[in-house]
């Protein structure tokens, strides 16, 4: 077999302990072969130096709209509805396939740089996204975002067929690094009859489902009013809750809804930065964890964040989780690190998020030799509160080295930045003219 060793570092183990160990990767099967004493690990065909480093599972960004990197900083500090209607939707209406390629590659560069090896993306022009994933070596779960409001019935059907068609056609590409999902946008932006028609079809084909849910009270109230039940009760009725399904946000979920999530094994992807920036509210994360709800972590799009850095997101989750719970012991460091690794990976159905023999070889190495990571009383605390995306030195996905010594190996970073700038500028020009 081909092998890659990661030598000389400490390893974050699945139980959130840290030990000195080397990691041996089988690059043929793209899995971790062993994690052991340096003396027990043979030299690989290739090796990465992890001295003064912490080897962690590649982080999993479980809810984002990657190509929205093009809108980073385009419109901030506005209420969600005004922001969408006045700023975001007009530029999104002008999106072309090439824009999505450019924005997605930019986002992937940013994620690889900050130790994220996998993501879930719900957006448009998804074949372009799949191609960018194939080409750059990351892992992703991709879905075409389907909306019915504002569309006639034929157009809506066409969009749903496109969504299912994409999921069917692209699943498994890139040696299995591309997986697909069915992604109706939300409970309020998709008509009931469409859920009734398409959810059973997706289920029958074994396609996982991902929606936005319970993000703002503006979204919860109309459902309660119209249907006399909470949004996730409605979601259950539609067959949307299952253990291969997951919802983004889950800010306003009451005790009964948390019970439903736990019962069905449906994960919630917590997006604290976006929820703060849009003043949506904060999900009751500690309550969810206590009640057995699976929780992953995501950045949401860069327009409401404004980055795709999962270290920021862990810090945000731990910080604001305490504030929201009025309890400084809530959402501790270990919980957020687990969310960003195993929690997100499990939600997406990826066999990653942990450094353990048999798991996918998705790994990042954090350079600990930094003033802001000194001293080292507790490295898991550092991951949650002090490590920055820029501290990531190497990134490996599916056994392939995507970044070594902070240099991207599968992308021409300069060209990616230039293309994204040009596409963003042209897009804004089109939207304004």
Q: Is 135 in the site for a copy of itself (CB under 8 A)?
A: no
Q: How many amino acids of this chain bind a copy of itself (CB under 8 A)? A: 72
Residues 6 or more apart whose Cβ sits within 8 Å of residue 229: 223, 237
For residues 355 and 401, what is the distance between their CA atoms, to the nearest angstrom? Answer: 16
CA angle 242, 248, 250 (to 5 degrees): 90
Q: To which residue do tokens 């004493």 refer?
A: 37
Q: Cβ of residue 85: shortest distance to a copy of itself, in angstroms?
A: 13
Q: Residue 307 interacts with a copy of itself (CB under 8 A)?
A: yes
Query: Shortest approach of a copy of itself to residue 73 CB, angstroms?
Result: 4
Q: Considering the complex, what minimum distance in angstroms separates the CB of residue 313 from a copy of itself?
A: 11
Q: Which of 333, 355, 359, 396 binds a copy of itself (CB under 8 A)?
A: 333
Q: Which of 206, 228, 328, 433 binds a copy of itself (CB under 8 A)?
A: 328
Tell me, what DSSP letter sits at residue 391?
G
Does residue number 109 form part of the binding site for a copy of itself (CB under 8 A)?
Answer: yes
**Closest separation in Å from C-beta 20 to a copy of itself:** 17
Residues 87/145, Cβ–Cβ less than 8 Å: no
CB closer to a copy of itself out of 80 and 240: 80
Task: By CB under 8 A, tell whether 424 contacts a copy of itself.
Answer: yes
Kindly state the smallest distance separating residue 413's Cβ from a copy of itself, in Å.
Answer: 7
Of 204 and 377, which has the nearer Cβ to a copy of itself?
377
Structure tokens, 426: 């042209």
Interaction of residue 315 with a copy of itself, rule CB under 8 A: yes
User: Least distance in Å: CB of 356 to a copy of itself?
Assistant: 25
Q: Of the listed pieces 58-66, 290-298, 300-308, 358-366, which binds a copy of itself according to CB under 8 A? A: 300-308
- Report d(CA 368, CA 205) in Å as an integer: 45
First to last CA, the chain: 57
Q: Is residue 119 within the footprint of a copy of itself (CB under 8 A)?
A: no
Q: What is the DSSP string of 326-360?
A: T-TTSS-HHHHHHIIIIIHHHHHT-S-SS-STTSB
4 binds a copy of itself (CB under 8 A): no
Beta bridge mates, 4: 25, 46
State the Cα–Cα distance between residues 55 and 7, nearest whole angstrom: 9
Q: Which of 389, 394, 395, 401 binds a copy of itself (CB under 8 A)?
A: 389
**Binding to a copy of itself in span 170-189, by CB under 8 A:** none
The 3-state DSSP class for residue 208 equals coil
Distance in Å, CB of 417 to a copy of itself, minimum: 5
How many angstroms separate the CA atoms of 318 and 270, rounded? 11
To a copy of itself, the closest distance from the beta carbon of 180 in angstroms equals 25
125 is a contact residue toward a copy of itself (CB under 8 A): no
Paired strand residues for 47: 5
Of the candidates 56, 32, 37, 4, the residue with the CA atom closest to the CA atom of residue 358: 32
Which range touches a copy of itself (CB under 8 A), out of 171-179, 192-200, 287-295, 315-323?
Answer: 315-323
| Residues 83-102 within binding reach of a copy of itself (CB under 8 A) | 83
**Which part of the chain contacts a copy of itself (CB under 8 A), choosing from 28-36, 339-347, 355-363, 372-380?**
372-380
Q: Which of residues 262-281 bind a copy of itself (CB under 8 A)?
A: 273, 275-279, 281
Closer residue to a copy of itself (CB): 36 or 87: 87
Q: With binding defined as CB under 8 A, does residue 13 bind a copy of itself?
A: no
386 binds a copy of itself (CB under 8 A): yes
Among 265, 231, 254, smallest CA distance to 343 is for 265
Bridge partners (DSSP) of residue 145 are 183
- Cβ 302 vs Cβ 72: under 8 Å: yes
Closest listed residue to residue 248, CA positions, set 120, 89, 110, 117: 120
* Strand intervals (E) in 204-274: 210-213, 246-249, 267-270
Q: What are the strands of the beta sheet with 22-26, ordered from one edge?
A: 31-36, 22-26, 3-7, 46-49
Nearer to a copy of itself, 25 or 278 (CB): 278
The interface with a copy of itself within residues 142-171 (CB under 8 A) comprises none
How far is it, in rounded angstroms, from Cα 150 to Cα 414? Answer: 39
Taking the C-alpha atoms of residue 381 and residue 63, their distance in angstroms, rounded to an integer, is: 24
Binding mask 47-86 for a copy of itself (x = CB under 8 A): ----------------------xxxxxx-xxxxx--x---
- 224, two tokens: 């309660």
Q: How far is the CB of 41 from a copy of itself (least distance, A)?
A: 27
């Amino acid at each position: 077999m081909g092998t890659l060793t990661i030598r000389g570092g400490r390893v974050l183990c699945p139980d959130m302990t840290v030990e000195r160990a080397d990691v041996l990767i089988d690059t043929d099967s793209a899995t971790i072969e062993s994690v052991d004493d340096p003396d027990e690990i043979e030299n690989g065909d290739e090796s990465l130096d992890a001295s003064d480093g912490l080897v962690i599972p590649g982080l999993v960004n479980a809810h984002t709209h990657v190509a929205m990197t093009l809108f980073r900083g385009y419109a901030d500090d506005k209420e969600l509805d005004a922001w969408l209607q006045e700023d975001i939707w007009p530029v999104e209406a002008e999106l072309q396939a090439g824009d999505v390629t450019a924005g997605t590659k930019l986002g992937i560069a940013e994620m690889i740089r900050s130790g994220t090896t996998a993501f879930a993306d719900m957006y448009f022009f998804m074949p372009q996204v799949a191609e960018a994933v194939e080409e750059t070596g990351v892992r992703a779960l991709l879905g075409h975002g389907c909306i019915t409001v504002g569309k006639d019935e034929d157009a809506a059907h066409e969009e749903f067929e496109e969504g299912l068609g994409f999921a069917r056609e692209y699943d498994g590409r890139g040696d299995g690094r591309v997986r697909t999902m069915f992604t109706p946008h939300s409970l309020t932006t998709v008509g009931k009859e469409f859920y009734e028609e398409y959810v059973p079809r997706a289920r029958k084909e074994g396609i996982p489902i991902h929606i936005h849910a319970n993000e703002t009270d503006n979204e919860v109230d109309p459902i309660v009013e119209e249907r006399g039940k909470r949004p996730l009760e409605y979601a259950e009725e539609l067959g949307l809750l299952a253990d291969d399904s997951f919802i983004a946000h889950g800010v306003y979920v009451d005790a009964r809804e948390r019970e439903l999530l736990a019962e069905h094994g449906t994960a919630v992807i917590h997006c604290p930065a976006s929820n703060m920036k849009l003043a949506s509210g904060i999900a009751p994360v500690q309550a969810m964890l206590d009640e057995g709800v699976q929780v992953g972590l995501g950045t949401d799009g860069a327009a409401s964040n404004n980055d795709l850095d999962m270290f920021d997101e862990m810090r945000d989750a731990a910080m604001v989780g305490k504030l929201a719970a009025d309890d400084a012991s809530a959402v501790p460091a270990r919980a957020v690190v687990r969310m960003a690794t195993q929690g997100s990976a499990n939600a997406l159905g990826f066999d990653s998020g942990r450094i353990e023999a048999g798991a996918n070889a998705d790994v990042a190495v954090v350079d600990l030799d930094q003033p802001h990571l000194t001293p080292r009383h507790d490295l898991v605390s550092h991951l949650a509160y002090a490590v920055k995306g820029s501290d990531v030195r190497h990134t490996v996905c599916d056994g392939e080295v995507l970044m070594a010594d902070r240099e991207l190996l599968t992308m021409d970073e300069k060209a990616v930045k230039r293309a994204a700038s040009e596409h963003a500028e042209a897009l804004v020009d089109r939207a304004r003219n």
